[in-house]
Structure 1
Amino acid sequence: MDKSPNSGPEDPSSSSSRKPGGFSLFKRNLTARLLLLPSNSIGALWILQAAFLFTIMSTFIKLVGEDVGVFQILMVRQFIMVLIVAPKIIKGLPNSLATKRPDLQAARVFFATTAMLCGFTAIIHLPLADVTALSFSKTFFLTIFAIFFLGETVGLHRWGATIVGFLGVLVMLRPEGSGIIDPYAALAILGSASAGIVMVILRILTRTDSPTTILTYQAVFVGLIMIGPAIYTWQTPNLEQWGYMVLIGVVSWAAQMANIKAFRAGEATAIASLDYTRLLYATIIGALVFNQWPSVDNLIGAAIIIGASMYTIRREAVRGRELARAADGRGYNN
């Protein structure tokens, strides 16, 4: 059939508008393949991404913390995160500020601030792998706090794993050639204990308050608390340092979202152990970026902590119980 006189060669742009481009097609095919995976596999991919992002966050904190105070870092981080979630907070007003437990909200803000101040300070002054391994001790603090505040019954096996885990912490805290414990290692432990309390508080708060409300109180009030100390210790950052602090906020938000999606997609008892890949990431980045390698004692202590934690996770899975672990209560991202 002859073409009409007015018809010319086909416009390539019109064809491309009807067919997805190369990247769009790849993205669509990848999404379709991921949706076919079991839920625990999807959760595992998310938690691996979260672990990597948390390690990148720690790397940026360590880089900028050499010249900028921890109060400034934390203040900027919180306000960047508030800016990112502001549309959701504003859309949810006034419900995003309505809480039935203001006492627990205040307690969460206090302990989250303590966890982050202690954790960030330890990150700045300790090798990245060491502070990462020490942060895993929060699992054992969580066990103790869950007994007292949640009324959980802990059997002999879990108590044994908890005691073994604390022995691993003691191995890591063992002074090298002196009788003095590294104060920054002690801060890392204090930060982990505070994070454990936050995780327990989160479990109670989620019974009465929405996730948006919990996020709003934490993001806003921790930032407000940091304003005074940050101004008092202010050191004017250069452009590179501003860039690092902004990235800390963005990466922190992305890591938390990946962590939440991981525990929404998969079972906690099936994917939680993958969190320990952070130690691998931290060891590699610490060696390549900071030329810092973990000591033999710290590697042994980390192995004990991880082994005891994985035993606890496995034990909970066998018993068919939900692991006492909040999706957004991990690490120093509270």
Structure 2
Amino acid sequence: MSSQENPGSDPADAKAPEPAKGLRGLATTIKRLPANTIGALWILQAAFLFTVMTALIKLVGDGLTVFQILAIRQAIMVAIVAPKIVPNLPGSLATRRPGLQAARIVFASTAMLCGFTAIIHMPLADATALGFSKTFFVTVFAILFLGEQVGRHRWGATIVGFIGVLVMLRPDGEGLIDPYALMAIVGAAAAGMVMIILRILTRTDAPVTILTYQATFVGLIMAIPAYLTWQTPTFDQWVLLGLIGVVSWAAQMSNIQAFRAGEATAIASLDYTRLLYATLFGAFLFGHWPSVETLVGAVIIIAASLYTVRREAIHGKALTRHAEGRGYNS
């Protein structure tokens, strides 16, 4: 019987795909894309989520201490990854490099504490751009601690990058520098050390061991100052804190998926879309438009960072884009 003979049937309904089939078809289409395209989609998502995380931290940071924010964030992330961690206990705590694990926890805590404090007190675009200076600290630390040989090209890029940082720091008429900008730089340096330590730890320790130490002990370190400075969150603040934990986990997972799928040199430049997101969020949520100095310094930092990544690719290195090493200070 034709649709004209059956008034109860609708040709449009007959052609409409079921939602489940539509989603499966989309997933199948994505899987057929080139690996670097999939990686690019993941890193764009990660960059957006990292920026959402920083905006949420800035919003809730008006009424709560950074220690509370970090302690609750880590607790939520531990709860999310617990199904992966708990079945491996106590074996997942077995490490051949306990000293390095402890150092990584200290540097990761420092990176997050300084970086998130800068985010709360600075315009988002400024804090985000200064966080990108991590790349240049990685180069310096790789020479000092890994014995890497760095040629004049990477040295040049590192020096140019730090010039971009100086442009952004812009001392006032009395030669004073914004202390929160300095905290952003300290956070970037600490995050650079985390990446160097990760490079060494991955030679001896399993990923689940590294994840267990990171997820558990950073939260424990923050728990004591969080308790001493505790201010009972309002309902809205609890919602924001919950979102920070979930979005942080989703951002890090998206980032890891990005670098598993695509080549670092092919997708690294898309990470800097965070500056665009941060500029828009800062303008529309907080009324902060970036200054000329911020834009000029950010362009210098990003250009030098991308050149450094390119030189790493030429020499077969992958330090500045370790999949597990982002998100500590921004």
Q: Report what 2:181 is aligned to.
A: 185
Q: Percent identity?
A: 70
TM-superposed CA distance for 1:299, in Å, is 0.6
Whether the 8 Å CA contact 2:110–2:190 is kept in 1: the answer is: yes
Unaligned runs of 5+ in 2: 1-15
Give the TM-score, by structure 2 length: 0.93
How far apart, CA to CA, are the structure 2 residues paired with 1:212 and 1:35?
A: 26
Q: Deviations over 1:285-325 (max 9, x none)?
A: 110110101111011000000011112222333x2523213
Q: Report what 1:9 is aligned to.
A: none
Q: Report what 1:120 is aligned to.
A: 116
How far apart, CA to CA, are the structure 1 residues paired with 2:189 and 2:227?
A: 28
Q: Report what 1:199 is aligned to.
A: 195
What is the number of equivalent residue pairs in this alignment?
317
How far apart, CA to CA, are the structure 2 residues paired with 1:27 and 1:328?
A: 29
Question: Is residue 322 from structure 1 mapped to residue 322 from structure 2 by the alignment?
Answer: no
Structure 1 residue runs of 4 or more that deviate by more than 4 Å after TM superposition: none
How far apart, CA to CA, are the structure 1 residues paired with 2:162 and 2:253?
A: 30
Amino acid across the alignment from 1:277 = T
Whether the 8 Å CA contact 1:82–1:219 is kept in 2: the answer is: yes
Whether the 8 Å CA contact 1:192–1:331 is kept in 2: the answer is: no
Listed as ranges, the matches of 1:31-110 within 5 Å are 31-110=27-106
Q: Report what 1:172 is aligned to.
A: 168
Whether the 8 Å CA contact 2:114–2:329 is kept in 1: the answer is: no
TM-superposed CA distance for 1:333, in Å, is 6.1
Amino acid across the alignment from 2:269 = S
Listed as ranges, the matches of 1:1-12 within 5 Å are none
SS in 2 for 1:99: coil
Amino acid across the alignment from 1:111 = F
How far apart, CA to CA, are the structure 1 residues paired with 2:117 and 2:57?
A: 9
Whether the 8 Å CA contact 2:115–2:329 is kept in 1: the answer is: no
Listed as ranges, the matches of 1:119-268 within 5 Å are 119-268=115-264
Question: Is residue 24 from structure 1 mapped to residue 20 from structure 2 by the alignment?
Answer: yes
Whether the 8 Å CA contact 1:135–1:331 is kept in 2: the answer is: no
Q: 1:21 and 1:83, CA in 2 relative to 1: closer, same or farther beyond 3 A?
A: farther
How far apart, CA to CA, are the structure 1 residues paired with 2:212 and 2:310?
A: 34
CA RMSD of aligned residues (A): 1.8
How far apart, CA to CA, are the structure 1 residues paired with 2:178 and 2:312?
A: 34
How far apart, CA to CA, are the structure 1 residues paired with 2:209 and 2:215?
A: 10
